[in-house]
Structure 1
C-alpha cells in the first residue's frame, strides 16, 4: 500500500494491483537428460531447496492427460487441473518436481508464487453514464450492462452492500472463494452463499471497491456525491482469492471462468437470472512490470477465454516510470485480441476529458509498443463501495455515508490502476449489450479506435491501425462512441 497526495480530495489511498512475481524461462540446470524449462522463481527455489522440501508446482503439457501421467510418474500428488490448457497443479518434494521435468510430454513447470497487494465515480469522463441515459442495447434496454455477467477476481466482495442490491436481493449471482492457500487442498474453489461477505481478510475492501466501480448501483449520496459503476445492470460473479493470494488461486479462478462462463450459476439456471460471463476484471499483477511470458498458465488461460468469447481486463500497474523501462503488467501485454491493459487517468474531480495521466500509472518501454497499455480510464480519487471495518476502506481517508440511514461510511476514496481497470470491465459489459455477437477482438477494437485523444503525457505514435503512447495507450475510453460503433441505438 502506498499513498499519493490527491488533487481534489484531502487524502487518497493508492490501491495498487496484487503482486505476481515475474515468470520467465530458466535454463536447464541439469544435463542428465532432456529437461522441461521452468519459471525463474521455480528454478531459484529448486536450486536452494533440499530434496525433501515440499513444493507446489503447475505442470504443463500438450494435454491434461499427459500432465496427469507425468505428475503420477514423478510421485507428485495432484491438487487440481486446468483441463482446457493441459496444466495440472501438484505438490511433492523438490526431488519429485525435478523428476517431473524429465517426464515425457512435459513442456513447462511454474512455481506457485505468492501474491500481495499494492495497495467522482469516473463515469462522467468515460461517458459511461451518458451511454446509460442516451443509448439502448440490442435487448432494447438502457445501455447498463444488462444481459451480461461480470467476473471479479479479487480479495472478495460484500454482496449485502447497497451498491449491489436490486429488487430486494443481491446482484452477486455466484460467489466463490479460493482455498489454495498452500497448495495442499484437493479443490481450489468452493462455493460461498451470496449472502456472505468474502471481503474480510487483512486485504479487505479492495474487491468490494473494485466491484462497485465495475457494476455498482448509481446513487446520489447524502452529501451530493454521485457514485455508481459503469454497468449497474449487469450481474456479478465474485471469485475471492482471500488472504493467501497465490498464482495457483488466481489461475484456478481464470480456469473456473473458462469452464463455466456460459452458465456460471449452473446448467439449470436461466440466462435471464444468471447471464453468461463476458468479461473478467484482474486488478493484480507484478510490481515493477517485466517481460511478457507466453508460456505461463495465466496467458494460456486468457487466450483460451478470448477464443471462447470472454474479454480479460488487466490493471497496468502502479509503478509510474518515464518510458526508459517496461513497467507494465506482463499478462496485459498479451497481443491477443480481447486482452486489454488499462492505465490510470486523472479526471481532476471534475469529469474532465482532458485531464492527465496519473503519476503512479505504470509506463511501458517507449521503444517497444508491445509493452504499452491499451487504453486509459479514471483511477485517481475514485469514490466507490467500501465498509469502514475493512482495512483498505479504513485507510481511504474520505468515508461517505451511503443512501440508507444505516449506511454509515459505506463509500470511500481509493486510487490506483486497480480502480481504472473495473471502469473498462463495466464498459465492456455495456458494449456486449450493444452487440451480443461481438468477438473479444471487436470489443477491444471499438474501445481503442474511438478513444478520446487527451493531450497530456507522451505523444501518440502510429501502432498498427491506431495511434498510441507508452503512458496512456490509445487515450481515454469513450463509451458512447465505442457503443455506437457497435450498433447501439440512440
Structure 2
C-alpha cells in the first residue's frame, strides 16, 4: 500500500468530530479571552455549514470558512464568541492561538538554517542544494504553488501503458490532484520550497534544489511507488538538473527485507547509478519489543536512508525526542532500526486548501490557502532528502553510500534508544563541512557524532 495515512501519522491540526455530540466543548483559552479576539468554530461533520455560517455571521464577524473540514473562523467580542457554543452544529470552540511549531524551527534543529542564511558557507558559497535534482515520488506536486513554481523541473504522472512498467509519463504542471492530493506537495515544499508565499518564512531544507515531481500511476498502491521509482531510474540523467536524490514518504507494513522484492531491486539499481534513496520509517510507534519500521525502510543497501521523526518542540531544540508516532525497530535487531532522525512534528510547508490532505492541517496553519501543518515521518524524510542535496552540491562526486555514511556519522545523539532514531538527529552543517573536507565542528551537543550507522551497514 501507498500507506500515506500510516506514514502521515497524527496529522496535528486536523479536526476530529463525533457525530451526535450535543455538548459544545469550549477550550479553557477561549473561556479566558477578553476584548476582541478570534476563535475557530468546529462543526460536527454532519452539520449544515451554510446554516452555521449564517448563524455565526449574525452574531460576530465571520472571517473565513473551511467547508471541506467543517471549520469556521470568527472574530468579535470575547463574550459573543463564547456564546457561539449554542449555535446548532457547533461542537467545539478553539482559541486561534499563535502557532510556534514551524518549519523555520525545524531547520534550526537540523542547523540547516545556518547554511541557508549564509552564516556557514563553503568556500564563500551558500549551500542550498543549487544544481541538484531531487525526485519526489508521491501523490504528485502542485507546480503552480508560489513556493514551488520556480523550484519545479519535471512534473509527471506515470500512467501504466499496456501493462508495461514505467509506462506513459504525462507532464502535468499540477499533478497533485488525486484522492490523497496534497501529500506530495507538502513533501516537496519541505525538500525545496522557497517560501515565496510567506516572504521566505516557511521554506524547505534546500531552497536552491530542483524538484522533479513523479506521481506514480493512477492508483494508490505499492505498484504506484514502483512506477515512480522506475521512472526515476529511466530518466534521472535526462532531466535538468540530473536527479541525485529520490524521496519516498510512503511504504508498507513491517517485514523482513527480501532482496528479490520489486522495490529493493529498483532501489539497488538507482543506488548503483548514483541516486541516494530516502524512505520514511513509518508511523506505527512501538517500544522496541518488535519491529514496526516499514519493510522498504529496512533495506540494508548502503545509500538507502531510513528516517525517523524527531520532535523539536517548536523551538528548534536539539535536545528533543523521537516523536511518539515514529516507527521503532526491534531493539535486539539493529538491522531494523532507522538510520537517523529529522524533524517531523507540526511541519508547516507548501500546500493548498483545495487539496484534501492539505485541508486536514489547515486549521493549524497561519495561512491555510498556501500552507498546511502536518506531522509524520513523511515530513521527516524530505528534510533528509534536502540535506543530501546540500551535501551533493559541495561534493557531487560522492556515492550514495558515502552520502549516507556522512549523514549518519555527523548526526547528534539525543537519547540512548538507537532503535528509535538510529544515529540521532541530522546535523546539516557538520555533514556539509565533512563532505567538503572541512572540520565538522561539534554543535556542542554531547552526542555520538562519528559513530557507525544505526543499522550497522558499514
Query: TM-score, normalising length from structure 2?
Result: 0.71
Contact 1:154 1:282 in 2 (8 A): yes
| Cα distance in structure 1, aligned partners of 2:286 and 2:373 | 24
**Aligned counterpart, 1:130:** 114
Query: TM-score, normalising length from structure 1?
Result: 0.66
**Aligned counterpart, 1:163:** 147
2:182 aligned to 191, 201, 205, which one?
Answer: 205
Task: Look up the SS of the partner of 1:174 in the other structure.
Answer: strand
2:420 aligned to 459, 467, 471, which one?
Answer: 471
Task: Let me know the Cα RMSD of the aligned residues.
Answer: 2.5
| Cα distance in structure 1, aligned partners of 2:112 and 2:157 | 30
Moved more, 151-160 or 292-301: 292-301
2:208 aligned to 211, 233, 253, which one?
Answer: 233
Shift of 1:186: 4.9
Residues 417-428 of structure 1: pairs in structure 2 closer than 5 A? 417-428=377-388
**Aligned counterpart, 2:91:** none
What residue ranges of structure 1 are gaps of 5+ in the alignment?
15-119, 265-273, 403-407, 461-468
Contact 1:176 1:190 in 2 (8 A): no
| Cα distance in structure 1, aligned partners of 2:328 and 2:226 | 25
2:250 aligned to 263, 279, 284, which one?
Answer: 284
| Cα distance in structure 2, aligned partners of 1:176 and 1:219 | 23
**Aligned counterpart, 1:153:** 137
| Cα distance in structure 2, aligned partners of 1:173 and 1:397 | 27
Q: Residues 310, 13 of structure 1: CA spacing in aligned structure 2 closer, same or farther, 3 A cutoff?
A: farther
| Cα distance in structure 1, aligned partners of 2:360 and 2:10 | 13
Moved more, 292-301 or 363-372: 292-301
| Cα distance in structure 2, aligned partners of 1:187 and 1:453 | 41
Deviations 1:142-170 (A, max 9, x none): 1000010000000001001011133xxxx
1:347 aligned to 292, 312, 317, which one?
Answer: 312
Task: Look up the SS of the partner of 2:420 in the other structure.
Answer: coil
Shift of 1:259: 2.2
Deviations 1:396-453 (A, max 9, x none): 1436466xxxxx6210100000000000000000000011111111111111111111
What residue ranges of structure 2 are gaps of 5+ in the alignment?
17-101, 440-458
Contact 1:135 1:489 in 2 (8 A): no
Shift of 1:141: 3.5
| Cα distance in structure 2, aligned partners of 1:13 and 1:190 | 38
Contact 1:431 1:443 in 2 (8 A): yes
Q: Please identify which structure carries the higher helix content.
A: 2
Moved more, 124-133 or 147-156: 124-133
Task: Look up the SS of the partner of 2:107 in the other structure.
Answer: coil
